[in-house]
């Protein structure tokens, strides 16, 4: 009877909270509402136990959600759910590689891997899948760029959800186009040692698909797809990046080397006109989660990496790629999501782990 009463009370709270709290998704992918934890009977009753299990406490931590409130009490996604063994995403070996995605003969480029030190400039056609998102400010002035993305086929760009969210659009304006084939934003035509590229290509945005669970939990599901208004013609300066399933990647190993690139803030300026690159190293999930434990709960869908001597992804790099060079091609491993104190040795940068979202990507692209 106590369990039934608790569930009924929780349902009552959810009904009365409908007008006050935002909807959310709990770790079992069930829909509820963000409420102060004392108002959520099932989860609060777990805290009242003298010896809650590890799975129960993990479920509570992973149920935390973000709302606009000044309360010191944590908010959780409240549902009548009492199954505290959280549902895992599909194993990576079940990811089906879509026929809409290019194979390794097309994706990932052919530029030889080289050692990367702090803040090196890229060469002209390096990381040719990188795009700049173009925003139209509300004052009607000329287009501006704030975030980046990665071309994954001839019609789609993957980026961070926070780059195209309602909150960002309210501040920066609507994302109306993407710019491909860019190297130096201060030059009309990019040239190096007498070699010049065609002018960058601008393509309008047809549709933006934000992950349906973005915003229900702080810094989770930070991924979005941008469908372009027309197909992209591949060239030496415009080509797609490979996804992990293209080369059979299923997990990241300790010591894994990555490269992050973008036009974001450097140590000497607010942004870089030239596309820069930086080598970073995989940070073990347990270590990264402990570092961020007082701020946000991280999970398998996050990937952490850090550079040496204040090297890091920074403001303006958001949405851009974290890449691994594997079996002769570049693979999209992560999407620049967030971090603290850019370049700090204590705070690794946090990326959306593409391994966790390949199924979502393939389910949301079309010809």
Catalytic sites, residue numbers? 162, 222, 318
Give me the residues paired with residue 225 across strands: 158, 209
DSSP state of 242: B
Cα 232 to Cα 349: distance, rounded to the nearest angstrom: 31
Q: From CA 241, how far away is CA 159, in angstroms rounded?
A: 13
Question: What residues are paired with 77 via a beta bridge?
Answer: 34
Which residues does 314 contact at the CB level (< 8 Å), separation at least 6?
262, 264, 265, 266, 342, 343
Helix locations, 207-364, DSSP H: 285-292, 358-363
Comparing CA positions, the residue from 68, 31, 74, 294 lying closest to residue 167 is 68
Closest to 321 measured CA to CA, from 271, 274, 276: 276
- Rounded Cα distance, 265 and 346, in Å: 19
- CA 151 to CA 128: how far, in whole Å? 9
Torsion of CA 104, 156, 128, 267, to 10 degrees: -130
Residues 6+ apart with CB under 8 A from 252: 282, 303, 324, 333, 355
Q: Where are the alpha helices (DSSP H) in 85-186?
A: 166-172
User: How far is residue 78 from each of residues 19, 32, 39, 216, 365, measured CA to CA in Å?
Assistant: 15, 5, 9, 12, 32
DSSP secondary structure string for all residues of 289-324: HHHHTTT----TTEEEEE-STT----TT-TT-EEEE
């Amino acid at each position: 009877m106590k369990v039934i009463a608790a569930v009924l009370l929780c349902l009552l709270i959810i009904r009365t909270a409908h007008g006050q709290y935002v909807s959310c998704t709990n770790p079992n992918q069930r829909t509820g509402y963000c409420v102060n934890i004392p108002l959520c009977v099932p989860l609060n009753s777990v805290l009242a136990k003298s010896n809650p299990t590890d799975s129960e406490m993990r479920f509570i931590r992973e149920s935390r959600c973000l709302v606009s409130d000044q309360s010191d009490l944590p908010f959780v996604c409240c549902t009548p759910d009492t199954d505290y063994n959280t549902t895992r995403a599909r194993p990576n070996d079940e990811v089906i590689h879509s026929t809409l995605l290019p194979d390794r003969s097309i994706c990932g480029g052919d530029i030889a891997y080289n050692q990367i030190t702090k803040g090196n400039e890229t060469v002209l056609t390096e990381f040719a899948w990188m795009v700049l998102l173009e925003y139209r400010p509300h004052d009607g002035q000329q287009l501006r760029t704030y975030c980046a993305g990665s071309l994954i086929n001839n019609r789609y760009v993957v980026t961070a959800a926070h780059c195209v969210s309602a909150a960002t659009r309210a501040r920066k304006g609507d994302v109306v186009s993407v710019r491909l084939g860019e190297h130096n934003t201060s030059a009309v035509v990019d040239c190096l040692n007498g070699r010049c590229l065609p002018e960058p290509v601008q393509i309008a945005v047809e549709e933006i698909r934000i992950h349906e669970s973005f915003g229900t939990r702080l810094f989770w599901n930070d991924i979005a797809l941008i469908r372009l208004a027309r197909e992209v013609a591949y060239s030496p300066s415009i080509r797609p990046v490979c996804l992990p399933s293209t080369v059979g990647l299923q997990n990241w190993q300790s010591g894994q080397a990555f490269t992050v690139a973008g036009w974001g803030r450097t140590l000497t300026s607010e942004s870089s006109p030239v596309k820069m690159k930086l080598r970073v190293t995989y940070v073990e999930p347990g270590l990264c989660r402990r570092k961020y434990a007082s701020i946000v709960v991280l999970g398998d869908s996050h990937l952490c990496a850090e550079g040496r001597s204040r090297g890091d992804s920074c403001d303006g790099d958001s949405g851009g790629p974290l890449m691994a060079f594997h079996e002769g091609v570049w693979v999209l491993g992560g999407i620049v999501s967030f971090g603290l104190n850019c370049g700090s040795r204590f705070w690794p940068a946090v990326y959306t782990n593409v391994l966790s979202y390949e199924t979502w990507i393939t389910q949301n692209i079309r010809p």
